[in-house]
Structure 1
Amino acid sequence: MKIIDWYILKRFLVTFLFTLLILIPIAIAIDISEKIDNFLEHANLGFYQIVDEYYTNFIIYYANTFMPLALFIAVILFTSKLSNNTEIIAITNAKVSFTRFLYPYFLGATLITVISLVMNHFVVPSSSKERKKFEKEYIKNRAQKNELKHVSDFSLQLTDSTYVFIRSFDTERKTGYDFTSEVYDGLKLKSKLASRTITYNEKDSTFSLTDWRERKIFKNRDSIFSGNKIDTVFNFTPRDLIYKSAFAQEMPSGELIDYINISKKRGVKNLNAYLVELYKRTSMPIASYILTIIAVALAFRKRRGGTGVNLALGIGIMFLYVFLMKIAEVLGAVAGVNSFIYVWIPNIVFGCLAVYLYLNARK
Structure 2
Amino acid sequence: MKIIDWYILKRYLVTFLFTLLILIPIAIAIDVSEKVDNFLEHPNLGFSEILNDYYVNFTIYYTNTFMPLALFIAVILFTSKLSNNTEIIAITNAKVSFTRFLYPYFVGATLVTLLSLAMNHYVVPNSSKIRKEFEKKYISSAKQKNELKYVSDFSLQLTDSTYIYLRSFNVDTNSGYDFTSETYKGLELQSKLSADNLRFNINDSTFSLTNWRIRKIYPNHDSIFKGRKIDTVFSFTPKDLIYKSAFAQEMPSDELLDFINLSKKRGVKNLNAYLVELYKRTSLPVASYILTIIAVALAFRKRRGGTGVNLALGVGVMFVYVFFMKIGEVLGSVAGVNSLLYVWLPNILFGTLAVYLYINARK
AA aligned opposite 2:170: D
User: How far apart in 1 are the matches of 2:215 and 2:228?
Assistant: 15
- Other structure's SS at 2:54 match: helix
Report how far residue 206 of structure 1 moved.
Answer: 1.1
Identity %: 79
Runs of 4+ in 1 over 4 A off after TM superposition: none
AA aligned opposite 1:361: A
The answer for the alignment partner of 1:74 in structure 2 is 74
- For residues 302-355 of structure 1, what are the alpha-carbon distances to aligned partners after superposition, in whole Å with 9 as ceiling and x for unaligned? 000000000000000000000000001000000000000000000000000000
User: How far apart in 2 are the matches of 1:101 and 1:323?
Assistant: 30
The answer for the alignment partner of 1:232 in structure 2 is 232
User: How far apart in 2 are the matches of 1:183 and 1:288?
Assistant: 50
AA aligned opposite 2:285: P
Further displaced range: 232-241 or 281-290 = 232-241
AA aligned opposite 1:147: E
AA aligned opposite 1:264: K
User: How far apart in 1 are the matches of 2:96 and 2:29?
Assistant: 44
User: How far apart in 1 are the matches of 2:118 and 2:204?
Assistant: 34
User: How far apart in 2 are the matches of 1:203 and 1:90?
Assistant: 72
User: How far apart in 1 are the matches of 2:206 and 2:69?
Assistant: 48
The answer for the alignment partner of 1:282 in structure 2 is 282
User: How far apart in 2 are the matches of 1:211 and 1:292?
Assistant: 65
Q: Which aligned pairs between 1:256-295 and structure 2 lie closer than 5 A?
A: 256-295=256-295
Report how far residue 300 of structure 1 moved.
Answer: 0.3
How many aligned positions are there?
Answer: 363
Report how far residue 189 of structure 1 moved.
Answer: 0.5
- Other structure's SS at 2:249 match: helix
Report how far residue 143 of structure 1 moved.
Answer: 1.1
Report how far residue 131 of structure 1 moved.
Answer: 0.3
AA aligned opposite 1:234: F
AA aligned opposite 1:8: I
User: How far apart in 1 are the matches of 2:342 and 2:257?
Assistant: 19
- Other structure's SS at 2:303 match: coil
The answer for the alignment partner of 2:48 in structure 1 is 48
Report how far residue 240 of structure 1 moved.
Answer: 1.3
- Other structure's SS at 2:209 match: strand
- Other structure's SS at 1:250 match: coil
The answer for the alignment partner of 1:136 in structure 2 is 136
User: Gapped runs of 5+ residues in structure 1?
Assistant: none
User: How far apart in 1 are the matches of 2:292 and 2:142?
Assistant: 44
| TM-score when normalising by structure 1 | 0.99
- For residues 99-128 of structure 1, what are the alpha-carbon distances to aligned partners after superposition, in whole Å with 9 as ceiling and x for unaligned? 000000000000000000000000100100
AA aligned opposite 2:310: N
Report how far residue 70 of structure 1 moved.
Answer: 0.5
Report how far residue 205 of structure 1 moved.
Answer: 1.3
Report how far residue 222 of structure 1 moved.
Answer: 1.7
- For residues 25-47 of structure 1, what are the alpha-carbon distances to aligned partners after superposition, in whole Å with 9 as ceiling and x for unaligned? 00000000000000000000000
The answer for the alignment partner of 1:255 in structure 2 is 255
User: How far apart in 2 are the matches of 1:10 and 1:30?
Assistant: 31
The answer for the alignment partner of 2:158 in structure 1 is 158
Report how far residue 188 of structure 1 moved.
Answer: 0.5
User: How far apart in 2 are the matches of 1:178 and 1:256?
Assistant: 30
User: Gapped runs of 5+ residues in structure 2?
Assistant: none
Report how far residue 65 of structure 1 moved.
Answer: 0.4
Q: Are 2:356 and 1:321 equivalent residues in the alignment?
A: no
- Other structure's SS at 2:51 match: helix
User: How far apart in 1 are the matches of 2:246 and 2:221?
Assistant: 48
Q: Are 2:214 and 1:217 equivalent residues in the alignment?
A: no
